[in-house]
Structure 1
């Protein structure tokens, strides 16, 4: 019995040792895992590199000192939007944005950093200096004036809408609400489009735009503005000359040649008109010349003017002589419309 009890005690002690060994091994593994998963202490440079890498995935635009001031304003606006989407910290916005300046724009930024009395530490300061350089206040005033005088003109409704939305951000005080925005857009429409839109008394901007597009489609094709397509993908500002379509002469140059040199509708040839067509002249029957009436000048009847004969003036002594001689018989005769007075 004693031997059996001693054997049982040995078996229990062995089992305990195995369990303790397993626990020790589990603790060691747990400590090792905890040590391997401890957070790495990130430096400032590592943080900047990580944020720049994440921001680069958004494909931000690059600014190279474009001569168009609107390009500078658009670049700054896109950078602000992308930084807000990526939640870039405020103290890193200037550092990240300056890495996307190239060419003359980066030379300007280097000159700013070289100034001893200028310290750019905030995004607001960078934004102010950038706009003063590439989008000055005078340009903003010009854009406000352009928005004030914006008119549909020769543009399509789609082009007018794009221009309207491009300029309206420079004068937000002119369109404080949706109704004012819709009214401003409607007032600038061309007359034949405007008269079809204002009948509905619309108050929403999107509804006015949609109604203007529908009205434009109802305008007869002869009154529409023809837009030439630029082979480079853009749209040209010059109005295209309209040439009537013809199944035989599709080229505008051929149409101009037809206008200049003549086109015969009998033989369908260029170079003469139908009245001069040689095919018609080959079998025309000669017509005998007709006698021309003789021209005679109208005869005018001459009629002598009627004049009245007057006796010559007699001196005073002749009167006294006549009284001495006595009365004189006078006879009046008329011959061929002329009156004569004779003494008897």
Structure 2
């Protein structure tokens, strides 16, 4: 059962590329459509059910394309006639795909889906070999246009305006854009994660009015020795302060709560008599001999 599931998925992928390879608008009906359909059916086109047959989709597509060439089927009828030959599971797929086309205003289905550019290019190349016009001299142009139309919208928008018409160059440009976009997204997510972590580390706001979050001091570190903010007790300079008045550590003499002590240096106070003052007056005045 697991193997069948993988094969059914491969068939679905091949069907998903069908309209992209054949091209055309499923809702366009040109003049003489009934006559062209009659000519198409005269060649006994095979039905495709989409059942358990991994190679069935590609073989069917190859036979349908052969009949298109023989009957000179108009491009705007290829999808219409080709999908007319789908039944059962394959027809169910087409009904869903057509609904998607109509909802998008008849825009082409994005066949790349969730595939990477490399995966999409590999599948596109594999199925394109059954569409012989791509092998012609002018086929490179159409092949590039068809490949662009199947890209994811963000890649198509960035690459489409460059009008690259060499298939290998187009695939390389799409791959580089995809890789750069992924790298930018990862870099942005890393910045968001770091920013969120930094905000969590800053703590919660205090909830009080009158200041902004970055101005809030509720989470500011404070010293329990001096009660001041901006440092911790281990960093506090207060422990190195010694009072010259009382000899205790933790404050300086102008802040000392104890009574100021008198001068205890033992110095003497000298008094001069009048005659001594007169004799030494020249020294006080700074007279030099």
Shorter-normalised TM range:
under 0.3
Which of 1 and 2 has greater Rg?
A: 1
**TM-score with structure 2 setting the length:** 0.27
